[in-house]
Amino acid sequence: MRESADSAEIQGIGDDAAIERVLAGDRNAYRVLVERHSHDIYRLAYRMTGNAHDAEEVVQEAFLRAYQKLEKFESRANFRTWVYRIAANYAIDRMRQRRSDEAHRELPGKKVEDGQEFEPLDMAVDTAPTPERLAGSVQLASHMEVALQELTPMERTAVVMRHWEGCAIEEIAAALNSNSSAAKNTVFRAVQKLRRALAPFAEGHVAAKSAGMEP
Amino acid sequence: MNHPDELQLIAFQDGEMKERQEMDEHLKECAKCRAELERIEAILRAMNALPVPGPGEDYGRRVWQRIAPQLAEKRVHWWQGWFEPRRLAAAGAVAALVIAAFVAGFFLRSNRGEPLDVTNETFVRQRVLWLAVGEHLGRTEMMLMELANAGPNVVAAKQVDISSEQRRAEDLLEENRLYRQTALQEKDPALVSLLDSLDRVLLDVAHSPGRIAPAQLAIIQQRISDQGLLLKIRVIQQDLRKKRGEAPLSPPRNDSTVQERNKA
């Protein structure tokens, strides 16, 4: 016997109706929500974590946590935005943990204090790539992923949600558990870091555009 | 306006700067700031150009398969169900029956000249439940009988249309759960047990596609037969009729019920 989400009727129901069914004891109705929103959450998670394995982990955990907290979901809210927030929160924790592990492994002498984010980009300011060393590179995008990895988890989340996913500042603030002003500053700071880290490439990009070589 | 700093330009690009008009005017005149703004935009364009490898079309299904075994059933309190919008229709029907039973009882006693026995509240409540459940079991029996006798129109047909039964099972499922909760409250174990068995079959049928393979239909039919559901329904219905003081009905002749009775 196929499960509920396979029937045409249940596939067509809205998020609110599916949530209502789940809360009434029909666990299979949750499948509709999972199948409907998995791709969007995966895209966000991939952009936040930078790899498919972590992204898949984030998606699964986000849907599991959402199911467990479903009673707390406010019916007037948007389910997708809500899961976004859960996914972003979990991705931040996961990235922090990964950074912490890597910091201990790669820099055994460096102490990572509680609550202090390890920011290799800040450390790398003095040793930033010089235009000479990067002269051979013409593809800004190919270096972007490296620069994104150097952002703190909060900054990466903020910039991904703002500039990739087009989220409102309030949504980002909710995901970061902060206020709008702090979320805005986090977005701006992230863009500033990217701008500085990729300055040599951007220079070439702007020059190429000015010369009519790029669209 | 003085030359904006980097963060001000980023805020302007983001659309989050209050002094937007002043900045617009400054940018018209200042080539240096325009170039800086262009660098910021180039960075964001490059970021947007980063591809995200697709996880595959059936990704949602794969996520579900991985997490489904970890999802516990939600516990539902019996009274919660009555206030859900989708159940209000069924709850309304039961409420109408309650009113009807009281009104009927009142007039019956008035006609007989008997005083209204307000202490007999439990009996009235149970009577209403018997009446409503009897109706529900009648509809369920009808649907299950049709399903038990269903089959492909052509021997070689690859699918059987059970869409009508499936839709009715969905409605019956809602009612069934309401009556089960009420039967639990009324401490009627035989009725709870039957409604439990019906719940599982109704859930299977309600969650089936409208057209299923004959083999799938055979599994459902086997389940109905193995559990002796049609016979159990008839036994409980007769019992309910006795409780309501009505004469028992002779069961209709039907192949499946005969088979089940023989088996029992």
Burial category of B15 from C-beta neighbours within 10 Å (exposed 0-12, middle 13-18, buried 19 and up): exposed
For A195, the closest of B6, B63, B73 (CB atoms) is B6
* A85/B contact by beta carbon, under 8 A: no
d(CA A78, CA A74): 8
**Residue that is written with structure tokens 């820099």 in the block:** A107
- Selection from B215, B238, B218 nearest residue B141 by Cα: B238
What's the pLDDT tens digit per position in A38-84? 999 999 999 999 899 999 999 999 999 999 999 888 766 789 889 99
* A72/B contact by beta carbon, under 8 A: no
> Within 13 A of B195's CA, how many CA atoms are on the CB side?
22
Q: Which residue of A has its CA nearest to B63?
A: A60
**Which two structure tokens, joined as six digits, stand for B240?**
């309910």
Average pLDDT over residues A72-98: 86
Asked if A1's CB is within 8 angstroms of B216's CB, the reply is yes
Cα angle, residue A72 at apex, residues A69 and A78 outer, rounded to 5°: 95
- Selection from B91, B208, B82, B197 nearest residue B140 by Cα: B197
pLDDT for residue B207 is more than 80: no
Q: How far is CA A24 from the centre of its chain?
A: 32
Which residues, other chains included, contact B165 with Cβ-Cβ below 8 Å and sequence gap of 6+? Answer: B143, B146, B147, B150, B205
List residues bridging with A166 in a β-sheet.
none
For A7, the closest of B40, B61, B207 (CB atoms) is B207
d(CA B183, CA B196): 11
Q: A210: helix, coil or strand? A: helix
Q: B176: helix, coil or strand? A: helix
d(CA B80, CA B47): 49
d(CA B83, CA A138): 63
Asked if B166's CB is within 8 angstroms of A7's CB, the reply is yes
H or E stretch at A187 = helix A180-197
Q: Report residue B238's pLDDT band, with 50, 70 and 90 as the boundaries.
A: confident
Burial category of A120 from C-beta neighbours within 10 Å (exposed 0-12, middle 13-18, buried 19 and up): middle
Phi, psi torsion values for B183, nearest 5 degrees: -65, -35
**ipTM field:** 0.75
Entry pTM: 0.53
CB A42 within 8 A of CB A59: yes
Average pLDDT over residues A17-21: 88
* A52/B contact by beta carbon, under 8 A: yes
* B44/A contact by beta carbon, under 8 A: yes
**Residue that is written with structure tokens 């995901």 in the block:** A175
Q: B 67-86 residues with CB below 8 A of A?
A: 67-68, 70-71, 73-76, 80-81, 84-86
Asked if A206's CB is within 8 angstroms of B39's CB, the reply is yes
Q: How many CB pairs under 8 A join A and B?
A: 157
d(CA A49, CA A59): 11
Asked if B39's CB is within 8 angstroms of A202's CB, the reply is yes
Q: Report residue B10's pLDDT band, with 50, 70 and 90 as the boundaries.
A: very high
The length of chain A in residues reads 215
Asked if A56's CB is within 8 angstroms of B208's CB, the reply is no
Q: B160: helix, coil or strand? A: strand
Q: What is the DSSP string of A136-176?
A: T---HHHHHHHHHHTS-HHHHHHHIIIIIS---HHHHHHHH
H or E stretch at B212 = strand B211-212
d(CA A77, CA A81): 8
Asked if B49's CB is within 8 angstroms of A141's CB, the reply is yes
**C-alpha pair distances (Å), B105 with each of B101, B118, B128:** 6, 11, 11
Interface mutation target, options B13, B39, B41, B74, chain A, most CBs of A under 10 Å: B74
The length of chain B in residues reads 264
The distance of A185 to chain B (nearest Cα, Å) reads 9
- Which residues in chain A touch residue B220, judged by CB atoms under 8 angstroms apart? 1
What's the pLDDT tens digit per position in B111-146? 555 555 545 666 666 777 778 888 889 889 988 988
Average pLDDT over residues B169-192: 81
What's the pLDDT tens digit per position in B14-40? 988 878 888 899 999 999 999 999 889
d(CA B197, CA B193): 6
pLDDT for residue A110 is more than 50: no
Phi, psi torsion values for B90, nearest 5 degrees: -65, -40
* B40/A contact by beta carbon, under 8 A: yes
Q: B30: helix, coil or strand? A: coil
| Residue B59 backbone class (left: φ over 0; alpha: ψ -120 to 50; beta: rest) | alpha
* A180/B contact by beta carbon, under 8 A: no
Asked if A39's CB is within 8 angstroms of B59's CB, the reply is yes
